[in-house]
Amino acid sequence: MKTVNSYNFAGKRALIRVDFNVPLNERFEITDDTRIKATIPTITKILNDGGSVILMSHLGRPKDGPTEKYSLKHLVNPLSVVFGRSVKFADDCIGQSAIDQATALQAGEILLLENLRFYKEEEKGNVEFAEKLSKLGDVWVNDAFGTAHRAHASTAVVGQFFEDRVCGFVMLAEIENAKKVLDNAERPFTAIMGGSKISDKILIIERLLDKVDNLIIGGGMTYTFSLAEGGKIGNSINEKDKVDLAKSLLEKAEAKGVKIYMPLDNTCADKFSNDAARQIVGRGEIPDGWEGLDIGPASVELFSEVIASSKTVLWNGPMGVFEFPNFAIGTNAVADAVVKATEENGAFSLIGGGDSASAVNNAGYGDRVSYVSTGGGALLEYMEGKVLPGVAALE
């Protein structure tokens, strides 16, 4: 695999697939620029070599072609600030106008293309569409790990039209850090799995049972485990059809000698709202009409102790509905514990994208853990042992 470090971009137009699918508020302002900042080293290396850069990305999930809300033009000014130069914008990602703008680029210049997903062909992995994209550059760089698990036109298919296919720094770091956790973890190794559904995490949990010493389970999926234990969960989110699966996971963990840690208590609410009435109850003791929205203080204490004694920590998924400040206490406490283990115990901590990354970054801890992944689904699939099309296209 060619990497950005080993390639000289002098005089080349680099067509880079980045993941600029960033959250925007109602004024189209970026609320979390983690993904943009992650691409700075790759883009800077290319520009410093004397190359020019054509950036392609998706934003959101536009249903019916071009939509103001999902236009990448909203990123032009923030990108110009980040890179200290005026970023040019093409109002289409293919076609003669885009080709003309790309061809006219001078060394050190940046062109941002309009949202790839304004064309249905992007997500379908359409070969003709990929070929049209390929006309814009001399070399293809994939630095979008967050979409590497999709066989889309820009993330994988376009690679066949380039002799030079180069792996960006984000992609390389993601793969290296995932491998470090999966293949060279220092022990004790603790995985923290949160989120609402067991069905989303079943494959990764099963694979981790062969790797970890401790598995902490939080978030909405714990209520399905509570059902498996015969507990009461009130109105809490659950997957009744996954109760047998939950039981079998617990049995497998026991057979493999993995210690499973479930919440000892839950903070529950009388409605799904930040200003709901709250009470703390033991696991499996949630009254009718109430729903669990966070882990309770005894769980925080237990989980923090387990994390504190770990040398490798993998965290994917929040402990509760962390979008509500009153129910973000458990998630924030886990973030605190992971930072403490990293800084005080020398643990290697990998934060697995998505909501966990947001929780860590929002708390200002992004640079106090070992690595924050920018790819939620992609990291999970990589760790499940699946081949990622975006990575395979570089090999």
Positions marked catalytic? 35, 197, 354, 377
DSSP letter at 386 equals: P
Residue of 100, 179, 166, 65 whose CA lies nearest to 391: 166
Beta-bridged to residue 15, according to DSSP, are 54, 140
Contact 174, 375 (CB under 8 A): yes
On the CB side of 292, CA atoms within 13 Å amount to 34
How far apart are alpha carbons 66 and 164 in whole angstroms? 31
DSSP letter at 30 equals: B
| 3-state SS class at 388 | coil
340 CB burial (10 A radius; 0-12, 13-18, 19+): middle
How far apart are alpha carbons 95 and 92 in whole angstroms? 7
Contact 316, 354 (CB under 8 A): yes
Q: What stretches of the chain show up as alpha helix (H) in DSSP?
A: 34-38, 40-49, 76-83, 96-103, 120-124, 127-134, 169-183, 198-208, 222-228, 243-256, 297-308, 329-345, 354-362, 376-383, 389-392
| 3-state SS class at 199 | helix
With both helix axes pointing from N to C terminus, report the angle between 40-49 and 169-183 in degrees, rounded to the nearest 10: 130
Burial code of 105-121, b = ≥16 C-beta within 10 A, e = fewer? beeebbbbbbbbbbbeb
Q: What stretches of 9-75 show up as alpha helix (H) in DSSP?
A: 34-38, 40-49
Residues 6+ apart with CB under 8 A from 392: 156
How far apart are alpha carbons 150 and 132 in whole angstroms? 19
